[in-house]
Each structure stands twice: as structure tokens, then as C-alpha cells.
Amino acid sequence: MAKKADLLEKAKELKLEVTEKNTIAEIEEAIASAENHEVREAKVAKAGKRSEKSLKEAEEKAEKEARKEAGDTTPQSEDAEETRKKGPAPKVRSRLERRGKNYRKLAEKVDISKVYSVAEAMKLATETSPVKFDASVEVHVRLGVDPRQADQNIRTTVALPHGTGKTVRVAVFAPEDQHAAAKKAGADVVGDEAFLKQLDKGTIDFDTLIATPAYMPKLGKYARVLGPKGLMPNPKSGTVSADVEKAVTEAKTGKVEYRVDKQAIIHLSIGKVSFGAAKLTENADAFMASLQSQKPSSLKGVFIQSVAVSTTMGPGIKVANN
């Protein structure tokens, strides 16, 4: 038994799968087989993919790829030099730090963690304009709609009580018997066939084009010119109307069109800084009331997700959307 115990101990060192149930002869045979087992070394070919040179190159390539993935750029030999870009290391600054001194000073008035009321936001907007000219005040509204859906592609007009502060050049394309009424209402350009000749020459000296329903087919061939500029008359925007005088009056007194873009955001200028907080608040309330009335019946989620106000080149101000 002592001999068997010694053999089992040796078999254990050789990591052989034998137990006490095996006979002494079986254990001795397993030990002898393990001791006499020869591990054949891989033969290296003189040339080709299995040559010593090819195997070494493959190993070096694998190590290089591993270092590349790990971002290790340290030199691998004493003669090699680490490649670095010349000059000082780039400094990453925040967006606010990259602004001018005047902007940063005015931006300190805005608490980015606070949501302001409309009146507070308008008052703050008039105080945070960093430019010397009379800047526009813009409202940016993020909606929870899908603009790809026809019933959620919002596009309409709103009459701002105090206008936008911009001089709007209105052109009217209508029959001759309506020219006098259009000019009386304040139209800058009025015509019929002569107006089409100006379009043929590429002359566009107006900001809004109003046409009667009967004259709309004549503008069809100019859609590629007027469409991209947002000048093509549209019933939704009130620029296709049989009452030309009324349409011109509305366009001149502050009726503006707004529509949702591909990112489901509406951008609209509601006036100038020189208007003052009170007039800007009234314009903003009129716009928000108009927008609330456009909520699609098929929309299940939140309609107005966020609202922000800013001046031209000024800091953004968060506004309550209720």
C-alpha cells in the first residue's frame, strides 16, 4: 500500500487523472507515459508565411495595432523620438469664456437655473443686449410635435399688436381694378403682367407677396424662385386673398408668419429692444396664445416643451411655458 500511495502522490504532481481504484500497474503505466511524452516544437520554415522573419513581423504588427487601440504613442526604441505637435498644448475653454467681455458682463444678470415669467424675461432681454444697434428680440419654442406628420406641421400667422419693428415691403399681384386699393393700403409694388416681367429678370425687391386666387396659376412657373426665399403666396399665411386691401394692411401692421422647422422648433422675432418690456410682453402673449390654439388634436404628449427668449447675439433666457 505504501508503494501505491507513493505512486498516487507522483501522479498528482504530474496532474494525472488516477485514483485509488486504479491498480498499481495502471498507475505506473500512466506515470511512465507522462514522463516519456515528448512535446514537439513547431517547425519554422525557411521561407514563406511560416518563416522566422514572417512570424516576427506578424508579431510586431499585432503589438503595434494593440498600442494604437490603447492610444500608446511612447517610442519603442531608444533611437526613436516621440512625435508631438509643436506649440503649446491647446486649452479647452467653455463657450462663455470664449465670448467678449461685454457679453460676459451682461450674461451675469441671467440666472441659468431660473425659469422667468414672460414679463420678467422681456425686461431682462432689454437689459442684456450686447450690441450697439437696435437688436431684435426673438422667441424660440421647442414643440413636442412630429413635423413629418401633415396634421402636426404647424404653419400659421399671428398679428402682433405692436408689429415687429421691421419695414416690410409688400408686393401685390392682382387685376388692374384692385391696384388703387392696394396702393392706398400701403403696397410698395403693384402690378399684373408688368410684375411678371420683373420676375423674369430676377428682380425681387419685396419682402411679402400677396396675390389673388385667380392670379395664382400665373405664378406657378416662378415657384422655384419664390419658394426657397419664402415668398410664394400661401393661403395659410394669408398672402392669397381676394380682399387685397385687407391683406396689405395686415402685412404692414405686423402680421407675421411662423412655422415649425425640421427639429420641431419655432423661431420668431417679436419686436425690437427699443419697444420696451411692456410692448414686447404684449407681442409675446399674442404669439403664445396663437401657438396654443394650433395644438394638433392627434398629439398625446406635451405640446410646448420649452421656451427661450434672446436678443440678437444676446444670452438666452428660459421662460415658463404655461
Largest Cα–Cα separation, the chain: 129
- Report yes or no: 309 and 125 within 8 Å, Cβ to Cβ: yes
Instruction: Report the run of H or E that residue 170 belongs to, with start and end.
Output: strand 170-173
Q: Which is more confident, 321 or 46?
A: 321
- The Cα 308–Cα 286 span in angstroms is 16
Please give the pLDDT value at position 208.
Answer: 85
- Note the pTM of the prediction, 2 decimals: 0.61
Q: Which is more confident, 279 or 24?
A: 279
Read off the pLDDT of each residue in 137-165 and give the average, rounded to a whole number: 88
Q: Where are the domains of the chain?
A: 2-35, 109-164+254-322, 169-253
Kindly give the pairing relationship between strand 136-143 and strand 265-272.
antiparallel
| Residue whose C-alpha cell reads 519603442 in the numeric block | 76
Helix (H, G, I), strand (E, B) or coil at 178: helix
Residue 77 has pLDDT above 70, yes or no: no
Span 169-253: which CATH code? 3.40.50.790
- Report yes or no: 182 and 195 within 8 Å, Cβ to Cβ: no
Q: Which is more confident, 73 or 110?
A: 110
| Average pLDDT across the chain, whole number | 82
- The Cα 244–Cα 39 span in angstroms is 100
109-164+254-322 and 169-253 have identical folds: no
| Residue whose C-alpha cell reads 514572417 in the numeric block | 54
| Residue whose C-alpha cell reads 511560416 in the numeric block | 50
The crossing angle, in degrees rounded to 10, of helices 118-127 and 277-292 is 130
Helix (H, G, I), strand (E, B) or coil at 33: helix
Burial class (CB in 10 A: 0-12, 13-18, 19+), 84: exposed
pLDDT digits (tens, 9 = 90+) for 2-25: 577 777 787 777 777 777 777 877
Span 109-164+254-322: which CATH code? 3.30.190.20
Within 10 angstroms of residue 116's Cβ, the number of other Cβ atoms is 19
Q: Could you tell me the pLDDT band of residue 38, with boundaries at 50, 70 and 90?
A: very low
Nine cell digits for residue 268 = 420668431
pLDDT digits (tens, 9 = 90+) for 205-222: 888 888 888 888 888 888
CA distances from 89 to 67, 86, 102, 213, 231 (A): 23, 9, 28, 64, 50
Within 10 angstroms of residue 70's Cβ, the number of other Cβ atoms is 8
- Report yes or no: 104 and 270 within 8 Å, Cβ to Cβ: no
Residue 297 has pLDDT above 50, yes or no: yes
- The Cα 272–Cα 4 span in angstroms is 104
DSSP 110-126: S-TT--B-HHHHHHHHH
Q: Could you tell me the pLDDT band of residue 193, with boundaries at 50, 70 and 90?
A: confident
Read off the pLDDT of each residue in 294-307 and give the average, rounded to a whole number: 88
